[in-house]
Structure 1
């Protein structure tokens, strides 16, 4: 059984995979709405190619998995980035990897612990595991939506072979 250790998420370590969405990562603060609101400007950039699709906001409701969590699938979105912003303040996990020969490089799998007050954006074309929550949790998800095209345009999946399965344990 091959385990993936859980790392604390930080902006620098995660930067090759995407961005961390926290107020402290704002490039600029702006006073708006007659001084009653602070805008934490440009925390995370999105790439949402819209030639054949639209940018949209959805809600994903994640259900927890039993530990140890079996990691046996990865996915990526070649056409657009994807942002996850937790609605409830519950900690959650993400698993990412680098790419090798257009597939996830399983030797580079990393698991990050994400605080419940923190969101993330996966860069376009980054291999990641589907949503991993420790308890039932909802997320605002900002991504590219196109219900008229084949889903394989912006969703590539890799299903692990039996000997490739990894596990996350607390």
Structure 2
């Protein structure tokens, strides 16, 4: 089976079945710090408390990927959401499939995430690990705690290619 995936621009609507597009667009801020800052609430639905999990913030230092690239595995985190926020202006890609026992290869989608945008995967969303278009650090909001929160599905028998 050969599948070619061409990413599309991300929107809140087309990504909503996989999680949240993290952006301040369309959110009315609250002025704080005597008007020197604005606070944007409700930009992502973090969900890390299943089975007594806790929220952790970490930094992933990602290396630039080469395209077209072979997709040889997908992973999911059934016990918690996982958010990726670039630490400087960059474009990155996400490749996802709906929640299920295994990734549904007929429902794989890829998105181009432009500068000033992040993503938050719902618990159980299948995804390929971070796809950076340049060497880049990402702030990651993740779950830590007991339980098996990483499921990997190897896709060695399939030929799945992500073009960009």
Range into which the TM-score falls when normalised by the shorter chain: over 0.9
**Cα gap change, 1:123/1:25 in structure 2, threshold over 3 Å: closer, same or farther?**
farther
Runs of 4+ that moved beyond 3 A = 50-53
Aligned residues: 163
- Residue 70 (structure 1) aligns with: 70
* Unaligned runs of at least 5 residues, structure 1: none
1:1-44 CA distance string (max 9 Å, x none) = 43101101000000000011111143x42111222221111111
Measured after TM superposition, the shift of residue 53 of structure 1 is: 3.2
Q: What is the rounded CA distance, in whole Å, between the counterparts of 1:36 and 1:8 in structure 2?
A: 33
Contact 1:74/1:158 (<8 A) preserved? yes
* Unaligned runs of at least 5 residues, structure 2: none
| TM-score, length basis structure 2 | 0.92
Please state whether the residue corresponding to 1:12 is helix, strand or coil: helix
Q: What is the rounded CA distance, in whole Å, between the counterparts of 1:145 and 1:68 in structure 2?
A: 33
- Residue 156 (structure 1) aligns with: 151
Contact 1:25/1:43 (<8 A) preserved? no
Note the aligned Cα RMSD (angstroms).
1.5
- Residue 166 (structure 1) aligns with: 160
Please state whether the residue corresponding to 2:14 is helix, strand or coil: helix
